[in-house]
Amino acid sequence: MLINAASRHMFTPKRKQPKPELTEAEMAGILDVVTPYSMVHESGIRFTIEQTIACIKQGLPGVLMECGTWRGGCSVAMLLAQRRAFGKVLRPVFMLDSFEGLPKPMEAEASTRRCRQRSSSSTNSLR
Ligand SMILES: C[S@@+](CC[C@H](N)C(=O)[O-])C[C@H]1O[C@@H](n2cnc3c(N)ncnc32)[C@H](O)[C@@H]1O
C-alpha cells in the first residue's frame, strides 16, 4: 500500500495544485472589502471564507447560496475567497433576500417566546 502510494507520487505528472489556503494578508484584504457590507462579525466572515475554500477543495457538488444577504458582504467574501484561492470563481454564489428586513415574529413564535419567558421566570423564582 505504502509502495503503491509512493510510486503513484513519483510517476504521476505534477499538476498545478490550487493554493490551499489564504495568507493572513489575503484574508485581511477580503475582510477590508466586505466588512462594511455585512452585519456578520469578522470571525463569522473568516469562517465563511474558510468553509467556501474547504467545500470546493473537498469536491462537494453544488453551488453556494446565502439566504438573507443584506448588503452582500458575505456573498462577496465567498466570491473573492474563490478568486484568491483558485484564481477564478469555480462556484457561483446565489444571493437571496426579501429586501424587506427581518419580519416581525408570527403569532406562533410570539406565544412560544411567552412560554419560554414564563418557564424561565418560574425557574428563577425557585432559586
Ligand atoms: C441579519 S441580516 C443578514 C446579514 C447578512 N448575512 C450579512 O452578511 O450582513 C437578515 C437578512 O435576511 C433578510 N430576510 C429576512 N427575512 C427573510 C425572508 N423571509 N426571506 C428572505 N430574506 C429575508 C433581510 O432582508 C436581511 O437582509
Domain boundaries, the chain: 17-118
- Determine the atom of ligand 1 nearest the C-alpha atom of 39: 9
Mutate to test the pocket of ligand 1, among 33, 69, 96 (most ligand atoms within 8 A of CB): 69
Q: How far apart are CA 3 and CA 9, in angstroms?
A: 10
As a whole number of angstroms, the longest Cα–Cα distance in the chain is 72
3-class DSSP state for residue 2?
A: helix
Residue pLDDT tens, the chain, 127 long: 334 444 344 444 455 555 558 999 999 999 999 999 999 999 999 999 999 999 999 999 999 999 999 999 999 999 999 999 999 999 999 999 999 988 888 887 777 766 565 555 544 444 4
| Residue type, position 48, single letter | T
In the DSSP assignment, the letter for residue 61 is -
Contact 74, 40 (CB under 8 A): yes
pTM for this one?
0.74
Query: In this structure, how many other beta carbons lie within 10 angstroms of the beta carbon of residue 43?
Result: 8
